[in-house]
Amino acid sequence: MKATENSMWMRIVRGEARAPREWLAAAGLRALSVGYGLALRLHLAGYRLGVARRTRFPVPVVSIGNLTLGGTGKTTASLAVARWLSEQGRRVAYLSRGYRGAGERKTLIVSEGFGPLLPADIAGDEPYMVARALPEVFVLVGRDRRRTGALALEKLGAEAIVLDDGFQYQRLARDLDIVLVDALLPFGYDLLVPRGLLREPPSHLARAGAVWITHSDLVRKADLAVTRERIRRLAPGARLWEAVHQPVRLRSLIVDDEVELEALSGRKICALSSLGNPLAFERSLERLGAEITARVRFPDHHSYRADELRADLAELNGAEWIITTEKDAVRMPAGDLNRPSWALGVELAGRPDGPALSEELECLLHTKSNG
pLDDT band at 204 (very low <50, low <70, confident <90, very high): very high
Distance of CA 289 to CAs 62, 90, 266, Å?
A: 37, 40, 6
**Which tens digits make up the pLDDT trace of 42-83?**
999 999 999 999 999 999 999 999 999 978 999 999 999 999
Residues of the chain above pLDDT 90, percent:
77
Over residues 11-26, mean pLDDT: 88
Is residue 190 within 8 Å of residue 33, measured between CB atoms? no
Give 231-255 as a DSSP string: HHHH-TTSEEEEEEEEEEEEEESSS
Query: How many CB atoms neighbour CB 287 within 10 A?
Result: 12
Distance of CA 283 to CAs 57, 193, 265, 277, 295, Å?
A: 40, 26, 13, 11, 11
Do 79 and 22 lie in one domain? The reply is: no
Do 250 and 234 lie in one domain? The reply is: no
Question: Residue 369 pLDDT > 50, yes or no?
Answer: no
| Strand bridging mode 239-252 / 341-350 | antiparallel
What's the domain range around 18? 4-48
What does R_g of the chain's alpha carbons equal in angstroms? 21
Q: Phi first, then psi: what are they for 214, rounded to 5°?
A: -90, 160
Is residue 139 within 8 Å of residue 94, measured between CB atoms? yes
Do 305 and 220 lie in one domain? The reply is: no
CATH classification at residue 130: 3.40.50.300
Number of H helices, E strands in the chain: 11, 13
Do 204 and 72 lie in one domain? The reply is: yes
Asked whether the bond before 194 is cis by omega within 30 degrees of 0, the reply is yes
**Which tens digits make up the pLDDT trace of 240-298?**
999 999 999 999 998 889 999 999 999 999 999 998 889 999 999 999 999 999 999 98
Do 11 and 99 lie in one domain? The reply is: no
* Within a domain: 202: yes
Distance of CA 299 to CAs 8, 86, 292, Å?
A: 14, 33, 19
Is residue 196 within 8 Å of residue 13, measured between CB atoms? yes
Do 234 and 118 lie in one domain? The reply is: yes
Question: Residue 1 pLDDT > 60, yes or no?
Answer: no
Do 99 and 196 lie in one domain? The reply is: yes
* Within a domain: 267: yes
Do 170 and 158 lie in one domain? The reply is: yes
Distance of CA 280 to CAs 99, 123, 244, 348, Å?
A: 21, 25, 10, 13
**Domain tally for the chain?**
3
Do 200 and 170 lie in one domain? The reply is: yes
* Within a domain: 53: no
Do 84 and 220 lie in one domain? The reply is: yes
* Within a domain: 55: no
Give 117-159 as a DSSP string: SS-HHHH-HHHHHHHHH-TTSEEEE-S-HHHHHHHHHHTT--S
Do 278 and 268 lie in one domain? The reply is: yes
According to the model, what pLDDT value does residue 11 have?
Answer: 86
> Among 123, 126, 61, 58, which residue's Cα sits nearest to residue 92?
61
* Within a domain: 313: yes
CATH classification at residue 328: 3.40.50
Is residue 327 within 8 Å of residue 303, measured between CB atoms? no
